[in-house]
Structure 1
Amino acid sequence: MRRLTLTLAACLWTTSALADSAALLVENAAPSVLDRLRGSDGVAAAVTPLREAGVDVLALRGADGAEMREGLGRFIETLDPETDRVAIVLSGRFVNTGRETYLLPADGEADAGAIFADAMPLSPLLAILADYPGQAVLMLAEGAPNALDARFLKDGAGRFELPQGVTLIRGAPDMIARLARQDLATPARTIVATAREENLGVEGFAPSSFAFLPAARPPETEPDRPEEPQDLPQVSDAEAELRLWEDVSARDDADAYELYLKAFPSGPNAGAARDRLAAIEAEPGREARLTEETLELTREERSEIQRDLSLLDYNTRGIDGIFGPGTRSAIEAWQEDRGFEVTSYLTGAQIDRLDDQAAERAEELEREAAAREAERARNDRAYWQQTGASGEEADLRAYLERYPDGDYADLAEDELGEIEAARAEAAARQDRQAWATAEETDTTGAYRQYLSDYPDGAFAEQAERRLSQLEQPSEERQAEAQAQAEEAALNLSPMARRLAEAKLASLDLGPGRIDGSFDGDTRRAIRRYQDSRGLGVTGYLDQPTVVRLLADSILR
């Protein structure tokens, strides 16, 4: 692409160190044809109004790695004991590792080695801002996403942890430049409120009344917002028109298409510009969608949001990391209940609020579960003292009938096993053989035949109980079959099944061996968990049970 007339050569501006406010401006974004038509000078245009407002300004424009390092050192030297507020405004291309964010040099190459050697990391800047809590502003002018083929790195500034008391405002370069020029440099101008009105991202310390410069300063003449050019030059060169169209298409917003149409009302792409402009104006919630897209949520982060919504009883119709109609409806319901604008798209602040509410709800559910568990344990222990503690078979069975998964169920079954073993030892050989045959066949006919042959046999009572189980109402069998089907539909891997057993074991619910095979001990542990958490008691895993298990694991 042919270079534009205006190039971004590296240069430095500084003022005398007489002010109690300091600002560092770095403009490393090359101007587009669209910027030239608008007469935009990027964040560098904020230098003059900031200086006129008495701010000690150091600015870099089109800087390489060495110039950024030198500029940062010079900026630190300007910070003296009199400095009481600091603003840092960065414009250009950002990349991140997930732990660190970098501003690339103006001429930087997008490979990992060059970036790590020459790019400016944000962590030193955040350390500077941390020394001015409540009076520190970081503004990031982020361009359109670019493909990045560099190991260990992702495109964009990403998300990072802010020090306490630091205000972060991020958005498109022209919006950040205008905010820095008109609002950051104006005493008593509430930049947070303005940023929100402009749909910019606001994070960290962000009271609506926050202004970077105090009202006590002498009033400055507020720079007028630039008017859109009325008589834009009609560039006849086809290559210039094509470059402008490429910039407008990359920007893809209403202002850019309107500017193109003013410059080329009859241009070869005028029809496409009008169509796209109409589509943008007709799309509901476009700004909200774009705001969420800038967060670059991973699939795991989206799954976490779905889990949070589910914990708060908003049905996302699945937890799969995909925001489909179910999740969007759940977000809308949550936004409406919490007094947010209902868009079905989330902002960074809303995600933080949702995380906090889900954590509070998880703790509340755990407290409720602990109270239910304590009540159950008291009742369980009292009934054991009334029945099973005697060691009599009838009492042991009475206990197990009421508390089949109770705290003393294993002991009761062990004692019953000893009683039945003694009975079997005393039973006649033919009686035992007949019973073994009935158990092996395990049908109602086999047990009826045993009872017919041995009505007073040693295993008659067991035969009656098994008959009762086999003849249970069809509704119960259907319910169990449905629970089995719901667990099968989860398609749990062997690792996921072992993880579920480990969670149950960590809660002292006795799932038996952690081997991914759900045996009788595992089913009993699941029933105990479901009962203590107020879930449907089936002994089989379903989505609500899995959601709660994951929430419990986070709290521990």
Structure 2
Amino acid sequence: MFRRILTATAFWIVTLLPAQASTGIALVIANQNYDRVRNAQGAGSVLQSVRRLEEMGFRVELATDLSAPAMEAALTQLSGALGDPANERVVIVYSGHVVSAKYGTWLMGTEATAADPDSVARQGVRLQRLLDLAAQRQGGAIVAIADYGFPQVNAQGFSSGLPGSVAVPQGVSLVRGSGAGVTEFLRAIAAPGVNIGTLVRRRGSVQLEGFDPHLLTFLPADHQPVVDFELQAWESAVSTHSIEGYQAFLGEYPNGTYAEQARAELQSLQNTPERIEAALNLSRNERRAIQRDLTILGYEPRGIDGIFGSGTRAAIASWQGNNGHARTSFLNRDQIFALAQQGAQRAAELEAEARARQQAEERRDRAFWRDTGSGQDEVGLRSYLENFPDGIFSNVAQQRLDRIEADRRAAAQARDRAAWDQARQADRIPAYRQYIRDFPDGAFVEQARTRIRQLNAPEVPDPNIEAAQAAEAALRLPRFTREIIEQRLAAMGLEPGPVDGNFNNHTRRAIRRYQRASNMPVTGYLTQAIVARLLAEGVIDLLR
């Protein structure tokens, strides 16, 4: 992997600029961790020389654990940078596995598997490639190889590590040795007034081949590295990669070499989806409206409270994905408008669907009332209430049945009445049958037969009323919201009773009517979805 001082190509861009002369450029490759052979343990030690090279004014490209193609790419970039004569010196460092043969030496990439003719050509870079690049700076070029050999060499003609001697181009100094030896050499040579040959002979932990100037030093004795303050400021901005960092750089160098890059990075950071949404300064009510729209469209935000938690963010991301937007979970202004438009359209569709269902239900209700005698007999009244307990004529039917029951009670003899009350108290089929046997012409025979039929009928599972009650209580609806809901139910002709925010039996019946017309579970209690729809429908009515 690369650890670049700037961006992926920024270092080489810097070296290509026609600015003031620099000490030179350096490429340090440390291949310690290999994928399929034993690691070159300690190869990373050469990285300790990087800071010293930078202090002396070298611009260093540092790369670790590279494959052969990646090493070739790094060398290609270095070749381009050497086209600038301002780079007076070059240092190329490789630390890792090495394989050699009579016809060449290869520095192996981390994908290396074997030392044979087929593998080395694909999995390594020739040492000659590095020497040829260095030859572009004759007299100011060092190639340093920390030789870790190769774990296993079986192919004939191949050997582990560098050969005994290497043909080095004119003006290039090749230094070879262990990782520790090469590291110490690099740290020492990156100092003013140091002669390469003298240093190598004094230390003894490395060997020198090629250019060995006896009177010249690699860096002049009076060398003072050029300090590029703008580059330092740019590197600092890149390392923080923050809005404040790039703004500070532009404030100091508004027309500098890296100003355009800084503005591009600044714009990228400022235009994140999260910042775009935050800049809208959405109010609590606007956030509630967004949550209502999501709910109406079938995306569950886990509450309509004006707080965008994980549930709302997941709902937004789902909506974005289904509408061809990036799933950022943050909204921009155009998306909010599109969401509101879809929510209003869907609310209108749901209202129309509910109205159509309600009208169809009313037609069926009236037809059944007519077909059962329009409330003229007890059987018809009871049949009507069994099928339409909250129907249009349910109040009338119940009142008439109440009068029939009252008249029957008044006309019944005491024994008849006592037997009937006893059967009603037991409310079991045997008790009602006993009553019919005892009083075949009794005042309550028809009621007993109706009750027997009811008890014999297959049980229809009732909605989970307790769960529905708990769900409505969890909504914690304020009084004004409950009044708005009662107003909506009244406007739809569902007869919820007084608009006072208190949900009585009339209100529950109106809610059941609405649920039945909207093809929802009929419980008589509110859910978040029902509240969202009723409030949304109310807004649509105001806009008409």
Structure 1 length as normaliser, TM-score?
0.46
Bigger Rg over Cα: 2
Structure 2 length as normaliser, TM-score?
0.47
